């Protein structure tokens, strides 16, 4: 993109927003690397990390605290922009694009949020991945030794910020799981990137890379699977939803030699909460499966549990 085109794009971004688009266009128009921007802010007595600047221009985070707003005003000087050309977009609801749906912190949805936070940090991933689920079909297979063998997912998602090109899939194994032996398979419209795990918490996080970079409002369909079989006796399968509004379908299939005596669906407001809205499920004799369907799932936790004896 030539200088004239960059300036034209910058003018449009400053006029129309949203904030992250305007900031990104300004940095590109000035030809500055983020570490140079950070250095120039530091010369003005303002300390902002490169990671924070990156999140701001991606739309993964939004400056809100007083020191962050002070940094944004300084950015207008550093990037030679008109006064209030960036800050005015923070005063709005966020500018054009796709509205982010109602959400709940992932910390309330998992028992070991500290472990998950550490793995996400290793992958340099924002807490908000920029995607929310429109439709999610999930099939879980329980093996002859009552172990979780596989779980396969097919998802349709929508981006609520620009630049999203990946999804972080999280697998929570049952007690005794060996995360290093869990395998991740990309089945449709994605490929496996980096994989991180924590043995003590039986958690695996896999980066699924898309073949395109989504803009806010765009949708994407992809499929993937985890192959486990390393854990002990499985008694439930749950799915946490940070965002609300999508449809979720969960099917659990049991081996013919290991059938539960009772199955029920349930929801939880958080990982620490007691199950609510429980409903007994009838095991299909032919397919040995039970399922739940929820329209407008989340934010929160949905799952199916079962008793063996």
Which CATH number does the domain housing residue 69 bear? Answer: 1.10.260
Looking at the structure, do residues 188 and 262 belong to the same domain, yes or no? Answer: yes
Rounded to two decimals, what is the model's pTM?
Answer: 0.67
Same domain, 136 and 219: yes
210 inside domain: yes
Range with lowest mean pLDDT among 83-97, 139-153, 165-179, 291-305: 83-97
98 located within any domain: no
Q: Is residue 96 part of a domain?
A: no
Domain termination site, one of 32, 57, 91: 91
Is pLDDT at 35 greater than 50 in this prediction?
yes
- Read off the pLDDT of residues 42-87 as tens digits, 9 standing for 90 and up: 999 999 888 888 878 877 677 877 788 889 999 999 999 998 888 8
In a domain, 118, yes or no: yes
Q: Which of 68, 91, 114 is the last residue of a domain?
A: 91
Lowest mean pLDDT among 27-41, 102-116, 214-228, 274-288: 102-116
Looking at residue 96, what is its pLDDT? Answer: 39
Alpha carbons 303 and 193: distance in angstroms, whole number:
28
- Of 31 and 160, which is predicted with more confidence? 31
| Same structural domain, 87 and 181 | no
The pLDDT of 16-25, averaged and rounded, is 84
Q: How far apart are CA 190 and CA 207, in angstroms?
A: 10
Contacts for 139 with CB less than 8 Å, ≥ 6 apart: 151, 152, 251, 252, 253
Report the pLDDT averaged over residues 211-238: 94
Q: What are the angstrom distances between the C-alpha of 76 and each of 21, 57, 90, 144? A: 14, 14, 13, 63
* Sequential DSSP letters for 214-272: EPTT-EEEEEEEEE---SS---EEEEEESB-SEEEEEEEEE-TTS--SEEEEEEESSTT
> Does the pLDDT at position 91 exceed 80?
no
**Do 204 and 163 meet the contact criterion of CB atoms below 8 Å apart?**
no
| In a shared domain, residues 247 and 208 | yes
Say what the pLDDT of residue 60 is: 64
> pLDDT-based confidence at 101, cuts 50/70/90?
low
Mean pLDDT of 178-201: 94
Domain identity same for 302 and 178: yes
Residue 77 resides in a domain? yes
pLDDT at 281 over 90: yes
Model confidence at 11, pLDDT cuts 50, 70, 90, reads confident
- Give the residue from 91, 119, 142 where a domain finishes: 91
Q: What is the 3-state secondary structure (H, E, C) of 92-143?
A: CCCCCCCCCCCECCHHHCCCCHHHHHHHHHHCCCCCCCCEEEEEEEEEEEEC
| CATH number of the domain within which 276 lies | 2.60.40
Residue 260 placed within a domain: yes
54 and 157 co-located in one domain:
no
- Residue 99, domain member (yes or no): no
Q: Are residues 87 and 119 located together in one domain of the fold? A: no
- Whether residues 127 and 243 fall in one domain: yes
Residues 32 and 170 in one domain: no
For residue 97, being part of any structural domain is answered with: no
- Looking at the 3D structure of the chain, how many domains does it have? 2
Shared-domain flag, residues 87 and 111:
no
Domain that holds residue 61: 3-91
């Amino acid at each position: 993109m030539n200088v004239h085109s960059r300036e034209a794009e910058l003018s449009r971004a400053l006029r129309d927003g949203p904030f992250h688009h305007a900031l990104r266009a300004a940095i590109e128009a000035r030809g500055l690397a983020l570490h140079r921007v950070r250095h120039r802010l530091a010369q003005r007595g303002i300390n902002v990390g490169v990671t924070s600047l990156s999140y701001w221009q991606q739309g993964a985070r939004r400056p809100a605290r007083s020191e962050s707003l002070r940094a944004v005003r300084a950015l207008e000087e550093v990037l030679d922009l008109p006064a209030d050309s960036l800050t005015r977009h923070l005063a709005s609801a966020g500018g054009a694009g796709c509205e982010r749906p109602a959400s709940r912190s992932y910390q309330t949805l998992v028992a070991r949020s500290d472990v998950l936070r550490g793995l996400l940090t290793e992958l340099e991933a924002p807490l908000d991945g920029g995607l929310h689920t429109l439709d999610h079909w999930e099939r879980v297979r329980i093996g002859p030794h009552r172990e979780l063998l596989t779980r396969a997912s097919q998802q349709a998602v929508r981006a609520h910020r620009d630049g999203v090109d990946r999804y972080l899939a999280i697998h929570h194994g049952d007690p005794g799981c060996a995360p290093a032996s869990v395998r991740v398979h990309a089945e449709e419209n994605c490929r496996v990137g980096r994989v991180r795990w924590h043995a003590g918490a039986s958690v695996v996080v896999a980066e699924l890379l898309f073949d395109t970079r989504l803009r806010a409002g765009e949708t994407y369909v992809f499929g993937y699977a985890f192959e486990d079989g390393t854990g002990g006796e499985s008694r439930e399968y749950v799915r946490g939803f940070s965002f609300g509004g999508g449809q979720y379908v969960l099917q659990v299939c049991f081996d013919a030699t290991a059938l539960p005596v009772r199955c029920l669906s349930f929801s939880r407001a958080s990982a620490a909460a007691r199950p609510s809205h429980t409903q007994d499920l009838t095991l299909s004799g032919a397919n040995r499966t039970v399922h739940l369907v929820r329209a407008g799932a989340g934010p929160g936790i949905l799952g199916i549990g079962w008793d063996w004896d």
